[in-house]
Amino acid sequence: MSNLTANAKSSPKMFDAKIVSAAIQHSFEKLDPRVQVRNPVMFCVYIGSILTTLLWLRTFAVQEGESVWFVFGISAWLWFTVLFANFAEAIAEGHGKAQAASLRKSQTAVTARRIISPDKLAGQDSVTQSVSATELRLGDLVLIAAGETVPADGEVVLGIASVDESAITGESAPVVRESGGDRNAVTGGTRVISDWLIVRVTTLAGNSFLDRMIAMVEGAKRQKTPNEIALAILLATLTLVFLLVVATLLPFSIYSVETSGQGTAISLPVLIALFVCLAPTTIGALLSAIGIAGMNRLSKANVVAMSGRAVEAAGDIDVLLLDKTGTITLGNRQATRFHAADGVAEQQLAEAAHLASFADETAEGRSISILAKNRFGLRGVELEEVQPNFIPFSARTRMSGVSFGGHEIRKGATEAIESYVRGLGGFLPDNVRAAVQMIAKSGGTPLVVSRDAMVLGVIELKDIVKGGIKERFAELREMGIKTIMITGDNPLTAAAIAAEAGVDDFLAEATPEAKLALIREYQQGGRLVAMTGDGTNDAPALAQADVAVAMNSGTQAAKEAGNMVDLDSNPTKLIEIVNIGKQLLMTRGALTTFSIANDVAKYFAILPAAFASTYPALKALDLMSLASPASAILSAVIFNALIIIALVPLALRGVSYKPVGAAQLLRNNMLVYGLGGLLVPFAGIKAIDLMLSAVGLA
Amino acid sequence: MISNFLQLLIYFSVLLVCVKPLGLYMAKVYGDKKPTWLGPFMRVERWCYRLCGIDDKVEMHWKTYATAVLSFSLVSFLSVYAIQRLQGWLPLNPESLTGVSPDSSFNTAVSFVTNTNWQGYGGESTMSYLTQMLALCVQNFVSAGVGMAVLIALIRGFARKNSTTIGNFWIDLTRGTVYILLPLSLVLSIVLVSQGVVQTLSSYQAVTLIEPTSDNTGQPVLTQKIAVGPAASQIAIKQLGTNGGGFFNVNSAHPLENPTPFSNFVQMLSILLIPAALCYTFGELVGDRRQGWTILAAMSVILLPLVVAVCLAEQAGSPAFESLGVDQLASVSQSGGNMEGKETRFGIVNSALWAVVTTAASNGSVNSMHDSFSPLGGLIPMWLMQLGEVVFGGVGSGLYGMLVFALVAVFIAGLMVGRTPEYLGKKIGAFEIKMAAIVILLPCGSVLLGTACAVLSAQGKATVFNPGPHGFSEVLYAFSSASNNNGSAFAGLGANTPFYNGILGIAMLIGRFGVILPVLGIAGSLAAKKAIPVGPGTLPTHTPLFVVLLVTVVIVIGALSFFPALALGPIVEHLMLQSHMLQSNR
């Protein structure tokens, strides 16, 4: 991710004053029963709050049972429990909204110049009419000149321009967008800063990329993910179990009072307090905040996910398919060495190679000229003198070159040049053949150069593996993800690069069909496959992959096929996505464990208190030796409410993930959240009890 | 004390030795290829299919399988009910016992069909030989067979991939009965007869008392009628099938049902034998034996400390006896400790071990009266049932219950390691969790709500003979036993009333079919899934760490659900007894 990102999309502090005050207000708005009913665990607490409030009002009328202050205390803290849960959700949403607001700034009303007669395109001078961006329809052509904002997502059909995409990516350096090829996609809300473009609209207003991104960070379109649904079922079950436990405790208590002949049956406020303490309120309150915060983290990492499902699936990825070019290696191969044939001076070879590459505007061609210049100080020749005739590369001949002054200079694939010189009566010298094999074996690409019937030598082209990529792959391996490099190279070259980059496997001579087949094969074996890609020919494979991250620099087709788009166009971004997916699950798991483990201490606090009058002997279970029955129950309820607030930062930040293997992770988390969850409430409840006694409320 | 531990050690060593051979054998029985030496059994199996018109090529969808289980159980219920009602007109009734009352017949029919064997009646004074043999003994076999069949269906769910079927219920039921239960029962009943267990169709024997006594009107009593019957054949399957329903009223405390320490030993062994060995079968059939050993380890980790705890609690004696001057010290001539309600031929260890083993496995037979155990000694058998009968549990039913807990454990653990939870290569989704939730919720709800109904209603309270915490324990014990299909009785509760016969019958039905149906649902759903190969990110489920996790889940769910109820029963009784002792010492 670029360092500049942080500037463009301001990421507020966790407890930014503005967000907090808005969240507090929303906490009260969320008391609407229609909102509450969506979360079964908290809805039960909500009902409990209403009931205890009614019971509190009743204490004024009926002078028996629990004291006014005790019932008021329970009721107030139950309301706090509900409000704290609302607050957790509201603050997570607040962070999303803050992000969305900064995005929306770039989405001001845009006027588009629609081309009236698409069949008569005249470049920059096409006849246009001004319309609002919202009136554009699919397939409309619009002209965008320097300084104007792109009105909608689309494909460049004519022109080339530099575009400032910082509104979306946060990257301030402009990017080039041009018709044809893999750089033809433009995004609504970005700005053309030089030249002009004619763009075909591919997405309607309100459904653009930016809109989807805003919807995602605002959580408007957030749907529950499969694991979240399963967890919600488990939590609802636990809630139901505790409802049964508490509901049957009343008859048990009545029976105990009857047969022991002393004390009074457990009161309703105490029963409700016990239920709320036992129900998994901690995780129930934080569950939706965890989900929203996960999506926020994702958008902070500059990734747009089409669904939360894909983020969760990212945590389960077994296999990652990566395109070699641009992902593992720098975009293009570069000439690194000249291997001259026997009896040929290296400079002679370099001169011929230089001449042959003169008109070759590809990056490879340029790199040959640069190498020749660096090695022998060769400059551009006076071309007028020689009157060259450039032969461009063709797929049929598989070579290119130049003809001048009766000489034919050619460069190309070994087999192509060999058959070419044989036709002229020449041959491929043995040391050249050896050099070719050596180069191929080391992962390079040999280009043989000939002059007339004579082979001069070989140019070694090499893929340059990106710095630091090996470490990234090692990290993926630690996470349990297998990396597979996809390349059009021959197997020999592919193997060498694979070894250098440290990927686990490779697919050489890959065609779109072969990629698709590979993904299917892994999926048949039960693996979850992720793929990153940018080109149109990646689209079928992206559509097949379980997690498909399209590069924002890629084509529209690739972006449509993927279920995530990386705005930074960084193929190793998947590591961050996997991290976020795993953190999402781990945070839920850890807080569920913590929540359940808490119940043990709460039993020891509340049960002896609840039956103090019927069975004084149960006082032996009061391990914390709390001040009084009322203080014991109140302390448990207060602890239960405060722990929600205490865990909000963890819910927003997520439990940290380290790639140490599943067993180690489980052991660590069991110790921290399981054992911790068992012990913390003993200390917490005791502390609250001491404070209540100190202020004389016990 | 050393001899106490030595007895436990011998018992568990012998049990462990039997696990592998029997587990492997059962895997072969339910597997696709059977060794040729099983030829004679295969002929019997084929006769059964021909007799019943079963096509053994047909595979079933889980819903079809469930329908087969339900319809088979319904027919079983109706036949057991009818035989009891009509036994007065039927043959093999030397004592001319009349038909059983409708409510008791209902309760007993449900009880035996659900593999619970809760007994509201006294065997020798209620059931004719025909009823014992044709109704109860038959159900001892087939209800155990049903449990094993459902387990095998669940195992197939794990083992198969992309499959719409989970086997054929009729085949699984037939195989379990013909290859496993019948031969083992035959061997065991012969061993039992050698120890003095009766096996006869002749009528009850009148014997002259060596020491004449007098009845409460002062008339001298010179003879006693000794109940006999075809007991050995029924007792063998009662233990092997974890049924537990006694031939005689006092169950395995009866000298003709369990005469010697050796008969006691082999009966205890046969109680845990199949549930333990099925763990191995499970590992074998899912293709990873370590998984089976892990489950067995988790069960043992829960069981062993509880056995020791009950032994210690009972050996410690009762404070109440102290004030009476009863000698509770162990010596060469007596085992010491709290011997109230225990047989001297078994002593403390074999009574405590029996109590734990029969409540861990859903056997429910007794060789001592649990009602007379110390409060903590009685708490543990009750809690073992409340755990859902998954610590060994009933044949088949214990393991399928434990596997459901394993799903829950894996689900929580999976989340904690940041991966969609998976167990044995199958992803655990919302459907599995929903079904697991039902499995946990229904028996638990049945125990709590049933107990609440009983202590609220006049009929419920009327037959509680010891009101107070102990009486509450008796009611809670009864519902824990029925709802988890154990059948063990605490005694002290008059349960043969229309109220208890009815409500406990319903509890047994919930505990049986409320679990079987969701388990089959899980089996069907898992079978349809594809299998995920193990990778470095996969949570291993064959490690000590997973044992700890599984044990924790079982214990935490059991403890959290029942802690308040137990606090008002055995726990407060224990605390009151302790403080009472303190006061009297002062």
Average pLDDT of span B355-378: 92
pLDDT at A574: 83
> Which chain A residue has the Cα nearest residue B429?
A230
Structure tokens at B437: 């939730």
Q: Is B339 on the interface with A (CB under 8 A)?
A: no
Closest-CA residue to A195 (of A174, A209, A216)? A174
- Contact A669/B437, CB-based, under 8 Å? no
> Which chain A residue has the Cα nearest residue B475?
A252
C-alpha A144/C-alpha A689 separation (Å) is: 69
C-alpha A469/C-alpha A249 separation (Å) is: 61
**Which among B430, B533, B537 has CB closest to A229?**
B430
Q: Is A242 on the interface with B (CB under 8 A)?
A: yes
**Which among B530, B539, B557 has CB closest to A663?**
B539
Q: Which has the minimum average pLDDT: A116-125, B5-14, B260-269?
A: A116-125
Cα distance from A349 to chain B (closest Cα, Å)?
A: 51
Catalytic-labelled residue, pool A323, A463, A566, A689: A323
Q: Is B564 on the interface with A (CB under 8 A)?
A: yes
**Which among A244, A588, A600 has CB closest to B448?**
A244
Q: Which has the minimum average pLDDT: A360-369, B178-187, B281-290, B558-567?
A: A360-369
Q: Is B456 on the interface with A (CB under 8 A)?
A: yes
Q: Partners of A410 in the beta sheet?
A: A401, A450
Token pair 């204490």 is found at A59
Substitution target in B294, B411, B419 with the highest count of A β-carbons within 10 Å is: B419
pLDDT at A8: 38
Give contacts of B461 with chain A, Cβ < 8 Å. 255
| pLDDT tier for residue B335 given thresholds of 50, 70 and 90 | confident
> Which chain A residue has the Cα nearest residue B468?
A259
Q: Which has more confidence, A374 or B393?
A: B393
Helices (H) and strands (E) in chain A, counts: 25, 21
| pLDDT tier for residue B467 given thresholds of 50, 70 and 90 | confident
pLDDT at B318: 81
Calculated CA dihedral for residues A181, A187, A191, A192, nearest 10 degrees:
20
- Contact B415/A592, CB-based, under 8 Å? yes
Three-state SS for B567? helix
Q: Is B466 on the interface with A (CB under 8 A)?
A: no
- Contact A662/B536, CB-based, under 8 Å? yes
- Contact B456/A588, CB-based, under 8 Å? no
| pLDDT tier for residue B573 given thresholds of 50, 70 and 90 | very high
Q: Which of A61-70, A311-320, A620-629, A638-647 has the highest mean pLDDT?
A: A638-647
Q: Is B492 on the interface with A (CB under 8 A)?
A: no
Substitution target in A316, A586, A669, A671 with the highest count of B β-carbons within 10 Å is: A316
Average pLDDT of span A174-185: 77
CA atoms in the 13 A half-sphere facing the CB of B413: 30
Token pair 């990927």 is found at A503
| pLDDT tier for residue B358 given thresholds of 50, 70 and 90 | very high
Q: Is A675 on the interface with B (CB under 8 A)?
A: no
Q: Is A255 on the interface with B (CB under 8 A)?
A: yes
pTM: 0.85
User: Is residue A430 annotated as part of the catalytic site, yes or no?
Assistant: no
Substitution target in A228, A231, A244, A650 with the highest count of B β-carbons within 10 Å is: A244
Dump pLDDT digits (tens) for B116-133: 999 989 889 999 999 999
Secondary-structure percent of chain B, ordered helix, strand, coil, rounded to 5: 65, 5, 30
Substitution target in A243, A245, A249, A255 with the highest count of B β-carbons within 10 Å is: A255
> Which chain A residue has the Cα nearest residue B421?
A227
| pLDDT tier for residue B84 given thresholds of 50, 70 and 90 | very high
Asked if A24 contacts A648 with a C-beta cutoff of 8 angstroms, the reply is no
On the question of pLDDT at A444 being above 60, the answer is yes
Q: Is B461 on the interface with A (CB under 8 A)?
A: yes
- Contact B419/A663, CB-based, under 8 Å? no
Give contacts of A312 with chain B, Cβ < 8 Å. 420
Cα distance from A627 to chain B (closest Cα, Å)?
A: 21
- Contact A236/B437, CB-based, under 8 Å? yes
Asked if A208 contacts A150 with a C-beta cutoff of 8 angstroms, the reply is no
C-alpha distances out from residue A367 to A101, A277, A349, A456, B196, Å = 45, 70, 15, 19, 100
Mean pLDDT, chain B, rounded, equals 92
pLDDT cut 70: percent of chain A above it: 91
On the question of pLDDT at A38 being above 60, the answer is yes
Decide: residue A541, CB within 10 A, 0-12 exposed, 13-18 middle, 19+ buried.
Answer: buried
pLDDT at B323: 77
Q: Is B444 on the interface with A (CB under 8 A)?
A: yes
pLDDT at B555: 94
The amino acid occupying position A623 is L
Average pLDDT of span A561-574: 80
Between chain A and chain B, how many beta carbons pairs sit less than 8 Å apart? 208
On the question of pLDDT at A333 being above 90, the answer is no
pLDDT cut 90: percent of chain B above it: 75
How many of the other CB atoms lie within 10 Å of CB of A47?
A: 17
Q: Is A8 on the interface with B (CB under 8 A)?
A: no
Q: Please give the radius of gyration of chain A, using alpha carbons only, rounded to the nearest integer.
A: 34
Three-state SS for A549? strand
pLDDT at A331: 62
Average pLDDT of span A69-75: 93
Dump pLDDT digits (tens) for A351-395: 888 888 777 767 777 788 888 888 887 765 555 566 778 887 776
How many of the other CB atoms lie within 10 Å of CB of A252?
A: 26
| pLDDT tier for residue A592 given thresholds of 50, 70 and 90 | very high
Dump pLDDT digits (tens) for B133-166: 999 999 999 999 999 999 999 999 999 999 999 9
H or E, element range at A303:
strand A303-305
The alpha carbon of residue A593 and the mean position of all alpha carbons in its chain are separated, in whole angstroms, by 26
On the question of pLDDT at A220 being above 80, the answer is no
**Which among B430, B451, B467 has CB closest to A230?**
B430
- Contact A259/B467, CB-based, under 8 Å? yes
**Which among B452, B471, B531 has CB closest to A251?**
B452
Average pLDDT of span B1-14: 88
Give contacts of B448 with chain A, Cβ < 8 Å. 244-245, 248
Average pLDDT of span B249-257: 92
| Torsional sign, CA B442, B444, B445, B447 | positive
| pLDDT tier for residue A109 given thresholds of 50, 70 and 90 | low
DSSP state of B571: I
Decide: residue A426, CB within 10 A, 0-12 exposed, 13-18 middle, 19+ buried.
Answer: middle
Token pair 């509890």 is found at B507
C-alpha distances out from residue A82 to A173, A228, A239, B195, Å = 47, 20, 15, 67
pLDDT at A202: 82
DSSP letters for B107-119? HHHHHHHTT----
Cα distance from A523 to chain B (closest Cα, Å)?
A: 9
Calculated CA dihedral for residues A273, A274, A280, A284, nearest 10 degrees:
-10
Give contacts of B430 with chain A, Cβ < 8 Å. 226, 229-230, 233
Asked if B275 contacts B398 with a C-beta cutoff of 8 angstroms, the reply is yes
Structure tokens at A377: 């100080």
Phi, psi of A270 (to 5 degrees): -70, -40
On the question of pLDDT at B452 being above 70, the answer is yes
- Contact B429/A592, CB-based, under 8 Å? no
DSSP letters for A423-454? HTT----HHHHHHHHHHHHTT-EEEEEEETTE
- Contact A589/B567, CB-based, under 8 Å? no
